[in-house]
Chains A and B, each alone.
Chain A
């Protein structure tokens, strides 16, 4: 007998035609899978009747990887083979591992391969493989519950995930045999779960404090369309940090310098977490962890104690809140609603602080742990084609500007941050030297003015450019970001049609640190950057002038100039070259002006000569055509 689900009126599907799709919230601490069943989205329970599956995987030689609660139970007895918080290392390099607290808890292989890997009894496991094992478990739960194969899943990622982290998430899904319908930003999913697409127009803030990451996003709803106005956050702040801080407090109180081993440290962390959870609903509680005569951690802890411990951490979430308001040009009073997402928003102090900051009560109607998965499920149901007349359209933004390196190590931003995706933007570049036949393209991500301060994403070359004078070639560089936030860049030389392109599958090891730090740095160094940029631009301009005049001199300097005149110009070039070696922008500018003034006679004589040559023996009509076509090329 078949178990049938109830459909919306007119939307019943033929047998075996239902397209099963799920939404997956792949979290740092917990993961969830949800689906639309009988008209409403709900989180699916696993065989233990649990709907949150801890994002923990235990590896051992004699059984398949354990995922979830059964893995968590192994944490105390077998810490090195029980991997948690792997999401923090998605798309990260060896440097990031060393900076992370995970480095103190696990053994890593940072040498073999390009991605850092956890050392386990069954060999090296990258964060991608660990995530794939979690996803496999979610997939199995979903397929058993829904009774069929999945056509795909919408997987949520923090709005702040960069290209490398998004790609790593897609790789993990592929490894677990899940077709990704779309990666969706977590705040956007939360907005969908609240059904805000059918609500009135306005701006909503999504405050998401999960186990390991913090995100604040401003979403604008207009005629049923979501647009992410701005996002900010901290990729290394969450409930785990509260647990660590509370554990440290309890340990210090017991007069202990440190815990004797990993296993006891984990027991303490577990105690800290349960204390935190209890204090969400009561004023004080007692705790006890009695490991031996020396290690006896016990006492009483009150809400006031916990508030004092976590308040400094929480204050770190308010700066990003201010930033998104600034980025979007929105006043606090324009924010219509504040949605709380993530288990850590159950902590009463979090609600109070956020509500005070935005000066309004915060929304907590939907379980903050489930809200993202539910939104993803709703979106998955639409994308799988189970809803015909749905006009839900989601727009996400890119978290950091994308650009190209130009001469002088400067960044030309092609797509500014917070641009909605999918997006394609083209810009024309040209050659810098006469006879240049190749161009190196360096794709970077970040807010700073100089390439050295941004994150390098990819390098590629455009070859076989026809040899022309500097500035004559027209090379169109196209940046495309798809709906998942993945970037492809192509360069096309318009005359010959030569094309080079690259899909940015960013190398995992390249991260230059945290995105938030990058954003902060761009604020702090704003004026310094402007000066650096101005200097670099002067230098590029200076070299261009030297290049142009030198090549002209070489071509016909002796025809148009006397020996003395030539010597004067050579001397001015020398002076400019000297100034280019120093870092004084004004001096370079003066030297350029002197050189241009000094060579003006030469330039004029050359112009006259070439005009004469051009006009000799030409019909007026033909001449006009030449002029028109050169005008046209200047415009583009």
Chain B
């Protein structure tokens, strides 16, 4: 399995990185907070650590630590707009249910 990214999401990440001026891609992680137990972490990645898994989507690297990968494997990142709001969506097959806002989830 792997972590994948839609073309649309990759375009936006690329433009964010260009605006920011540095970065090799995204770092994804999972941490245990939030209203339903776990929450996604979505950050710019500047470097790859020793035990990280790296998934490349053309020039964009998606970096995940091994512990988080268990919860994220198979996820597809997409970009979407809802009204005036826009952002990255995690399509994660491991999720059983999530809180109303979707910012945290249960496995």
Instruction: List the interface of chain A (C-beta within 8 A of B).
Output: 1-12, 14-16, 38-40, 44-47, 141, 144-147
Contact = CB atoms under 8 A, between A and B. Distances in A.
A10 B103 CA distance: 18
Contacts of B103: 2, 4, 15-16
B50 interface: no
B19 to A, nearest CB: 4
A68 to B, nearest CB: 14
Contact of B88 (A4, A11, A40, A147): A4
Interface in B67-91: 80, 82-91
| Chain A at the B interface: SS class | loop
B36 to A, nearest CB: 9
Given A8-B43, A9-B27, A9-B46, A3 B84 contact: no
A4 B89 contact: yes
A12 B29 CA distance: 10
A4 B101 contact: no
| Chain B at the A interface: SS class | strand
Nearest to A142: B84
Residue of B33, B42, B84, B85 ringed by the most chain A CB atoms within 10 A: B84
A39 B84 contact: no
Given A15-B103, A16-B35, A40-B16, A3 B80 contact: yes
Contact of B84 (A4, A8, A44): A44
Contact of B89 (A1, A38, A146): A1
A133 to B, nearest CB: 19
A12 B34 contact: no
Contacts of A145: 84-85
A10 B90 contact: no
Contacts of A44: 84
Interface residues of B, number: 34
Contacts of B80: 1, 3
A4 B90 contact: yes
Contacts of A40: 16, 19-20
B85 A6 contact: no
B40 A4 contact: yes
A45 B85 CA distance: 10
B41 interface: yes
B34 A3 contact: no
A403 B27 CA distance: 56
Given A9-B43, A15-B104, A16-B103, A3 B87 contact: yes
Contacts of A45: 84
Nearest to A45: B84
A299 B13 CA distance: 50
B99 interface: yes
Nearest to B45: A9
A9 B52 CA distance: 15
B44 interface: yes
B54 interface: no
A14 B39 CA distance: 7
16 contacts: A1-B89, A1-B102, A2-B87, A2-B89, A5-B42, A12-B29, A14-B34, A14-B39, A15-B34, A15-B35, A15-B39, A16-B103, A38-B16, A40-B16, A144-B84, A144-B85
